[in-house]
């Protein structure tokens, strides 16, 4: 091959190497690019795994075997669901906090009578206690209560039957910004039914 042919072959080789280099650069992901967390891990950070764990039955002396699932019972002549767990107990039996949180509202309700709303630590849940006979002496809005701390006593205030005193207990899942009276009901029964023998901490 003459000298001109060698020069042409050399130029073609260099051009091919340049194209190959460009292709490798375009195909290779930049080392500095960071990827966002997967959706599942982001959800875990927003809502701690322990948010619904460690609940105690909110009426002293009641064991899980005594609970009856009343969440889907018909109310209002069958026009609405119950949306709560009714825990039967003698009038005056202590009602305790099922989980630690802040007392967000103490409210006198035509339907619920003497009621207490506790926003559970973390803010994603509200517990609603209704038909109380009395409030605990130290109860006040804005006060933090511990798991097992006394909130009041079982009664039948509001629209409850005086012959059947009980605690009406609701668990509500709260979206960001929702008020104490909002939220989406979650059945407390399966969350409490494994808590036999759990009592107020010493």
Q: What is the CATH number of the domain that holds 167?
A: 2.70.70.10
For the chain, first and last CA: distance in Å?
98
pLDDT of 21-62, one tens digit each? 443 333 433 343 334 444 433 333 333 334 456 899 999 999
In this structure, is residue 134 part of a structural domain?
Answer: yes
Q: 71-100 burial string, b = 16+ CB within 10 Å, else e?
A: beeeeeeeeeebbbbbbbbeeebbbbbbbb
The C-alpha atoms of residue 64 and residue 99 are separated, in whole angstroms, by 16
User: Tokens 């849940």 — which residue?
Assistant: 125
Q: Which residues contact 187 (CB under 8 A, 6 or more apart)?
A: 69, 71, 72, 85, 171
In this structure, is residue 164 part of a structural domain?
Answer: yes
- Mean of per-residue pLDDT scores for the chain: 77
At 155, is the secondary structure helix, strand, or coil? strand
In this structure, is residue 36 part of a structural domain?
Answer: no
Q: Is the pLDDT of residue 7 over 90?
A: no
Q: Which residues contact 197 (CB under 8 A, 6 or more apart)?
A: 63
In this structure, is residue 200 part of a structural domain?
Answer: no
| Least confident window among 8-17, 32-41, 166-175, 182-191 | 32-41
At 106, is the secondary structure helix, strand, or coil? strand
User: Tokens 């605690």 — which residue?
Assistant: 167
Residue 188 sits in which domain range?
45-192
User: How would DSSP label each residue in 21-80?
Assistant: HHHHHHHSPPTT--PPPPHHHHHHHHS-GGGG-S---SBTT--GGG----TT-EETTTTE
| Least confident window among 22-31, 120-129, 133-142, 166-175 | 22-31
pLDDT at 83: 86
pLDDT at 37: 41
The C-alpha atoms of residue 17 and residue 6 are separated, in whole angstroms, by 17
In this structure, is residue 90 part of a structural domain?
Answer: yes
Report the predicted TM-score, pTM, of the whole model to 2 decimal places. 0.70
pLDDT at 1: 54
Task: Please report, rounded to a whole number, the percentage of residues in the chain having pLDDT higher than 90.
Answer: 58
At 96, is the secondary structure helix, strand, or coil? strand
Q: What DSSP designation does 93 have?
A: P
Structural domains in the chain (count) = 1
In this structure, is residue 199 part of a structural domain?
Answer: no
Q: Is the pLDDT of residue 11 over 90?
A: no
Q: How many residues does the chain have?
A: 202
In this structure, is residue 86 part of a structural domain?
Answer: yes
Sign of the alpha-carbon dihedral angle for 198, 145, 139, 201: positive
User: Tokens 């050399």 — which residue?
Assistant: 10
pLDDT level of residue 4 (50, 70, 90 thresholds): low
Residue 86: closest CA among 179, 156, 146: 156
pLDDT at 77: 52
In this structure, is residue 179 part of a structural domain?
Answer: yes
Q: Is the pLDDT of residue 12 over 60?
A: no
Tell me the CB-side half-sphere exposure of residue 140, using CA atoms within 13 A: 4
């Amino acid at each position: 091959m003459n000298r001109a042919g060698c020069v042409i072959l050399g130029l073609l080789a260099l051009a091919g190497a340049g194209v190959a280099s460009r292709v490798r650069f375009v195909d290779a992901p930049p080392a500095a690019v960071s990827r966002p967390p997967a959706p599942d891990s982001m959800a875990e950070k927003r809502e701690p795994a322990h948010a619904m764990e460690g609940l105690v039955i909110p009426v002293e002396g009641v064991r899980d075997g005594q609970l009856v699932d009343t969440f889907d019972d018909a109310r209002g002549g069958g026009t609405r669901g119950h949306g709560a767990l009714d825990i039967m107990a003698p009038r005056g039996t202590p009602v305790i906090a099922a989980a630690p949180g802040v007392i967000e509202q103490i409210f006198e309700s035509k339907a619920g009578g003497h009621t207490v709303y506790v926003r559970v630590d973390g803010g994603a849940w509200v517990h609603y206690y209704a038909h109380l006979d009395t409030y605990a002496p130290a109860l006040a809005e804005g006060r933090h209560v511990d798991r097992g701390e006394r909130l009041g006593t079982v009664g039948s205030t509001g629209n409850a039957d005086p012959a059947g005193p009980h605690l009406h207990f609701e668990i509500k899942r709260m979206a960001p910004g929702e008020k104490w009276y909002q939220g989406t009901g979650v059945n407390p029964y399966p969350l409490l039914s494994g808590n036999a023998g759990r009592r107020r901490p010493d």
